[in-house]
Chain A
Amino acid sequence: MEAFLNQLPIGLSIGAVLLLIALGLTFTFGQMGVINMAHGEFIMAGAYTAYLLQDLTGRMAVIVALPVAFLVAGLMGLILERTAIRHFYGRPLDTLLLTWGVSLVLQQLARDLFGAPNVQVQAPTWLQGGIGPLPYNRLFIFALALATVVGIWAYMNRTGQGRRMQAVMQNRQLAAVSGINTGQVDQRTFFIGSGLAGVAGVALTLIGPVGPALGTYYIVDAFLVVVAGGLGQLRGAVIAAAGLGLLNSYAEFWSDASLAKVIVFAAIVAFLQFRPQGLFVLRSRALT
């Protein structure tokens, strides 16, 4: 019984990890419709940022790296958007191939820069230990995911930039004729989305490997959350991440990790039969 009850907070904490890796994608994929396969490598860039900062800040690297990784990954995203992706808007399959190629290049670049073996990022000592089945580092990720969601919500709904971003997403042509510089909004959206991947990467150093292949382990899960939650829907992403986390936790508890993956995929396929557009659907008057 205790083991069974433990799975509840464990499921929610798995959900927090899923949410954190998917939040960036709700911008680039959800808002802009860009299938960015290199999103995982932006997560990796965040993790390596924490690794590099370690020399300067010691065990505090994980905290200091959060804003730095946001900038590093954000700039990488911005460069990718300006040099390549913007020429492929409206061509999702080409974008997919392009960004997949970019992701391979970035992985090999990491291998050349940092070596093929994993590196270690030391966690702050005050993150050791835990309450019940939840270690402090999981609670930290939980809090970080929560804070990020609140931050994004405030940005989208309480600032002019955020409102313009929503306007472009809902109806690009109308936003453009209303005087919004849609190209600039695209850049900003891509910067923020990629930057959030960097933040997720820093958090993941607490629980997972830090190596060139890091991004590949999380990219599929990130897309799952966004698709199940509904494109561009913050609310949807939060609920989908929590739901998938719990489903994963209990499915693995009753079967095993391999079967749990199958169950989660099957559940998503079944769910999309009933709600092809995910949990929440953006209602817009745009002609698409």
Chain B
Amino acid sequence: MRNSVWRSGVAIAALATALTACGGEAPASESASVAGGAGDTIKVGILHSLSGTMAISEVTVRDAELLAIEEINASGGVLGKKLTPVVEDGASDWPTFAEKATKLIRQDKVATTFGGWTSASRKAMLPVFERSKALLWYPVQYEGLESSPYIFYTGATTNQQIIPGLDYLKEQGKKKIFLVGSDYVFPRTANKIIKAYAAANGMEILGEEYTPLGHTEYSTLTNKVVQAKPDAVFNTLNGDSNVAFFKQLNSAGVTAQEMPVLSVSVAEEEVKGIGVDNIAGHPVAWNYYQTTETPANEKFVAAFKAKYGADKVTSDPMEAGYNAVYLWAAAAKKAGTVEVEAVRKAAGGIAVERPEGLVTIDGENQHMYKTARIGVIQPDGLIKEVWNSGEPIKPDPYLKGYPWASGLSNG
């Protein structure tokens, strides 16, 4: 294993050398510490899947990040310099993410990079950023149990989304839960946490089912769920499967009233594709909705619609991507430079009013303090908040603060 990591490292380094050699313009003396800062503009990387199966979600995050860059430039830029985005396509292919990250760091010499969606893409980029001591801002809720010094996590970790979701179900008196998820790392890790929570809180798990990514045939699964008669379903399906699942669940006559399905990967954008008829009334867990009532959000929604069209919606991962750019800019301003180590040191404790409310960077694990919000999908396709955690929750990616979760982080 070590050996193969070392070998792929050599391969990437060789590739990077080749790329730099091809570029040929950057003077050799320019050191990594002034990366992106030379001249009167600052280059920043944006690395999302613009093609392939993940494009459906990631394109909207790119749009939000570009909007943030545009706004920051309009108000004078960072440290008196304008930001120039360098956009690359990760193509829904994890090795491509690592390759494009290397290109952004070595060839474009970007000051920082905003990117990724799936945990697989983040895991692929992580060694590249750590080795080059470059910064990545990752904007999506994820399964936790990670804390890289060169990644800032602007989406929720499990104790800011999944655990509040479970708290909500418990409050509603839902004791028998059925787990449905896509078959990969995020749902399986999330369900491990859910099962530990259930055992400690007197909840019963009636079933646990996984389907491959892209699965579209849910009649058998629906039959299983209906026969088990759970009080609620906890849904960690990802991507297009959600459309098939909710369509088929709805046509099987399952109503949100008798069996609510709590989703953690269905936001405003997905509701449109699923069809609001099929999902209205079901709850979701996030940290931000288009309807969240803050002054910053009013501005964000208006700006986004003005730039991309009145029919566009804003969602949690988009907002987290939008925030990432602002948080990095704030850290750079505080540090007085875009140099990576200085920005990292300055970032801890930065608190900014964002569309989701107050967001504070935890200097220790580089996650954010975020307010958890449970919402219910409305007949107009938007999501109305029905519950929130009252205050921003301290990020706890390894769930150290939860006695029932001991033993999860090493497995």
Give the interface of A toward B (CB within 8 A): 2-3, 6-7, 10, 13-14, 17, 108, 111, 116-122, 127-130, 133, 135-138, 206-213, 216-218, 248-249, 252-253, 256-258, 260-261
Judge whether B221 and A257 touch: CB under 8 Å.
yes
B224 touches A213 (CB 8 A): no
Q: Which of A6, A136, A258 contacts B212, CB < 8 Å?
A: A258
Q: Are A3 and B219 in contact (CB under 8 A)?
A: no
CB within 8 Å: A-B pair count: 127
B294 at the A interface (CB under 8 A): no
Q: Are A253 and B217 in contact (CB under 8 A)?
A: no
Residues of A within 8 A of B216 (CB): 207-209, 217-218
A213 contact set on B, CB distance < 8 A: 53, 56, 214, 240
A69 to chain B, nearest CB (A): 19
Report yes or no: A111 in contact with B252, Cβ–Cβ below 8 A. no
In angstroms, Cα B251 to Cα A128, docked, is 6
Listed stretches B111-119, B267-275, B284-292; interface member: B267-275
Question: In the bound complex, do residue A217 and residue B240 qualify as a contact, i.e. CB atoms below 8 Å apart?
Answer: yes
Please, how many residues of chain B have a CB less than 8 angstroms from a CB on the other chain?
A: 38
CB-CB under 8 A from B227, the residues of chain A are: 2-3, 6
Cα–Cα distance between A138 and B251 once the two chains are bound (Å) = 9
C-alpha gap A257/B215 in the complex (Å): 9
**Is B274 in contact with A120, judged by CB distance below 8 angstroms?**
yes
A contact patch SS: helix
- From B56, B220, B244, B277, A117 is in contact (CB under 8 Å) with B56
22 sampled A-B residue pairs with Cβ under 8 A = A6-B223, A111-B55, A117-B270, A117-B272, A117-B273, A118-B240, A119-B273, A130-B252, A135-B252, A206-B247, A206-B251, A207-B247, A208-B243, A208-B244, A209-B243, A211-B243, A211-B273, A249-B219, A256-B209, A257-B217, A260-B220, A261-B212
Binding site for A on B (CB under 8 A): 51, 53, 55-56, 59-60, 183, 209-212, 214-217, 219-221, 223-224, 227, 240-241, 243-244, 247-248, 251-253, 269-270, 272-277
CA distance A130 to B211 in the complex (A): 25
Please, which residue of chain B has its CB at the minimum distance from the CB of A13? B219
Q: How far is the CA of A127 from the CA of B252 in the complex (A)?
A: 11
Given the known interface contacts A13-B219, A138-B219, the answer about A118 and B272 at a Cβ–Cβ threshold of 8 Å is yes
Q: Judging by beta carbons under 8 Å apart, are A258 and B210 in contact?
A: yes
Closest-by-CB residue of A relative to B240 is A209
Cα–Cα distance between A83 and B212 once the two chains are bound (Å): 36
A120 touches B224 (CB 8 A): no
Would B55 and A253 count as touching, CB distance under 8 A?
no
Q: A258-B183, A258-B210 are in contact. Are A3 and B273 (CB under 8 A)?
A: no
Query: In the docked arrangement, what's the CA distance between A13 and B219, Å?
Result: 9
Known A118-B240, A257-B210, A257-B211; judge A129-B253 contact (CB<8 A): yes
The answer to whether A210 touches B224 (Cβ under 8 A) is no
The reply to whether B272 and A3 contact each other, CB–CB distance below 8 Å, is: no
The answer to whether B252 touches A209 (Cβ under 8 A) is no
- Quote the shortest CB–CB distance from A1 to chain B (angstroms): 10
Q: Is the pair B240, A257 in contact by a Cβ cutoff of 8 Å?
A: no
Indicate which residue in A7, A120, A217 contacts B223 across the interface (CB closer than 8 Å): A7
Once the chains are docked, how many angstroms separate the CA of A13 from the CA of B222? Answer: 14
| Inter-chain contacts of A111 with B (CB < 8 A) | 51, 55
